[in-house]
């Protein structure tokens, strides 16, 4: 029997590799847009993570003609009223680097003491079929925003997302630990159950 394919709807290399790790073991061949020659840009103009993930999943499912998983995630900082939220990747400008995003965030809360730097990473995943079916799941994790970036792993805001109980930022965690406790790991665990059900029902 030919293995079913699942398109991972992201052109972010770090996220693509992380999704491949998180979804390892499912009975699908995981493919990225480049594997299919897809060069698709989807405007993420939804007001929620679920809206943006749905936009990406449905657009890539139609373009690729196969079952597709997309996620949208963001950082919510209590001292900033939940910002940057859905604007996390674009908050410091449309072409900002990860380091520029981190520096911009730290400049916004430079006078906030560590004890008041509570934050959450949030992730919503949407699984879309080319025929229009949609399934959704989410995950989150809590921490603090550190005073300066630390660690070499991960991407995005990982170097300043600090876990007090572990004494480490997300970027300091080995991938096997991060991929058990992160917002994306929790959403992916739920997505794997959805995908298994879809496979049993012939998608």
The C-alpha atoms of residue 118 and residue 144 are separated, in whole angstroms, by 4
- Let me know: does 127 contact 194? Beta carbons within 8 Å: yes
Compute the distance between CA of residue 23 and CA of residue 19 in angstroms, rounded to an integer: 6
Per-residue pLDDT at 45: 86
pTM of the entire structure? 0.90
Q: What is the pLDDT, as a whole number, of residue 154?
A: 83
Residue scoring higher pLDDT (122 or 44):
122
Provide the domain count of the chain.
1
Catalytic sites, residue numbers? 72
* Mean pLDDT of the 41-57 span: 92
The whole-number pLDDT of residue 88 equals 94
Q: What average pLDDT does the segment 66-73 reach?
A: 96
Confidence of residue 11 (pLDDT cuts 50, 70, 90): confident
The three-state (H, E, C) secondary structure of 143-192, written as one string? EEECCCCCCCCCCCCHHHEEECCCCEEHHHCCHHHHHHHCHHHHHHHHHH
Tokens of 173: 């965690």
For residue 127, the domain's CATH number is: 3.90.950.10
Beta carbons within 8 Å of 202's beta carbon, 6+ residues apart: none
**Average predicted confidence (pLDDT) for the chain:** 93
pLDDT at 2 over 80: no
pLDDT-derived band at 164, boundaries 50, 70, 90: very high
User: Domain residues for 43?
Assistant: 4-200
Looking at residue 202, what is its pLDDT?
56
């Amino acid at each position: 029997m030919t293995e079913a394919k699942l398109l991972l709807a992201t052109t972010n290399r770090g996220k693509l590799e992380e999704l491949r790790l998180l979804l390892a073991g499912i009975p699908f061949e995981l493919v990225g847009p480049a594997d299919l020659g897809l060069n698709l840009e989807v405007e993420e103009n939804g007001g929620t993570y679920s809206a943006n993930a749905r936009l990406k999943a449905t657009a890539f499912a139609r373009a690729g003609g196969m079952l597709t998983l997309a996620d949208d995630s963001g950082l919510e900082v209590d001292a900033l009223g939940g910002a940057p939220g859905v604007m996390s990747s674009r908050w410091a400008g449309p072409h900002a680097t990860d380091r520029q995003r981190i520096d911009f965030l730290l400049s916004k809360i430079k006078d906030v003491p560590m004890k008041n730097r509570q934050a959450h990473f949030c992730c919503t995943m949407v699984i879309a079929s080319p025929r229009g079916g949609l399934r959704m799941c989410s995950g989150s994790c809590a921490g603090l925003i550190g005073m300066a970036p630390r660690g070499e792993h991960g991407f995005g805001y990982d170097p300043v997302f600090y876990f007090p109980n572990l004494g480490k930022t997300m970027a300091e965690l080995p991938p096997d630990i991060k991929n058990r406790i992160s917002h994306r790991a929790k959403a992916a665990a739920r997505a794997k159950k959805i995908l298994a059900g879809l496979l049993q029902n012939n998608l």
